Amino acid sequence: MGPPGVGKGTQATILKSHLKVPHLSTGEILRKEIALNSDIGKVSKEYIDNGLFVPDNILIEIIENYLKSSVCQDGYILDGYPRNVQQVKDLHLLLSRLNQSIDVAISLTAEKKELIKRLIKRSKDSGRSDDAIEIISKRQDVYWKQTAPIIKYYRENKILKEVNGLGTIEDITKRIIKVIK
Ligand code: AP5
Ligand code: MG
């Protein structure tokens, strides 16, 4: 977990090789659906282009299919899910049904100024519709309103690890590996 631009995707991509488990980025899945112009893609585009969250029922369907797949049977990294209180509940129910549990919830942190700087830099060649300047800012607000409150839930469940997301990519990876050992 962590605000847009904090490095969730960057770190998950490195960690998946280190931990030898797959990585699911809900943002990437939705962007692929948009590129395919599928039904999910058509609905999602409206929300993503406006910096809003895609409806929870679409996300839980994607997550359920993924967690049931054979590639996930030895573990996985979720990047960008859950993202609000309802998704925490949906995931909790799904994991109970599948007899799975979360080992660790990592919250990456960084100040807003740095995040905006990273996303503006990325916007020059990302091709992401939500990297438009007004949407970058909106995504930060949505994170603080809807995602930040769920961090408390994982803290209370004693599986939360908070990691400083400022510094070099390599240093942040080392910090994460240290807390998940
Ligand atoms: P998603 O794709 O998850 O985007 P996001 O959370 O807004 O964040 P980013 O992917 O932009 O940032 P990141 O933290 O992964 O950072 P990154 O590693 O890329 O979601 C997009 C949209 O999809 C949502 O707004 C929503 O509409 C929808 N969606 C997705 N999941 C959903 C859900 N569960 N429910 C509902 N809707 C959902 O790094 C950012 C940049 O910084 C890169 O250029 C990177 O190279 C650079 N960088 C990384 N680390 C460093 C560092 N240490 N120093 C300097 N630069 C760095
Ligand atoms: Mg990402």
Per-residue pLDDT of 144-174, as tens digits, reads 999 999 999 999 999 999 999 999 999 999 9
Q: Which residues surround ligand 2, an ion (CB under 5 A)?
A: 8-9
Q: What are phi and psi of 144, to 5 degrees?
A: -65, -35
pLDDT tens-digit profile of 65-111? 999 999 999 999 999 999 999 999 999 999 999 999 999 999 999 99
Interacting residues of 64 by C-beta distance below 8 A, sequence separation 6+: 94
Angle at which helix 39-49 crosses helix 56-68, to 10 degrees, equals 130
Please name the residue whose Cα sits nearest to atom 17 of ligand 1. Answer: 7
Alpha carbon of residue 21 to chain centroid: 16
Pair of tokens at residue 97: 């049904």
Q: Which ligand is nearest to the CA of 118?
A: 1
Burial class (CB in 10 A: 0-12, 13-18, 19+), 109: middle
d(CA 22, CA 13): 9
Domains of the chain, residue spans: 8-176
Choose the residue to mutate in 118, 120, 138, 144 for probing ligand 1, maximizing ligand atoms within 8 Å of C-beta: 118
Architecture of domain 8-176: 3-Layer(aba) Sandwich (3.40)
> Percentage of the chain with pLDDT > 90?
99
How far apart CA 179 and CA 55 sit, in angstroms, is 32
Which residues, judged by CB distance below 6 Å to any ligand atom, belong to the binding site of ligand 1? 2, 4-10, 25-27, 30, 47-48, 51-54, 59, 80-81, 83, 87, 118, 122, 130, 139, 168-169, 172
Contact 54, 30 (CB under 8 A): yes
Nearest ligand 1 atom to the CA of 31 is 23
Cis amide linkage into residue 82, ω under 30° from 0: yes
Kindly give the number of the ligand 1 atom that is closest to the alpha carbon of 167: 53
Ligand 2 centroid to Cα of residue 45, in Å, is 16
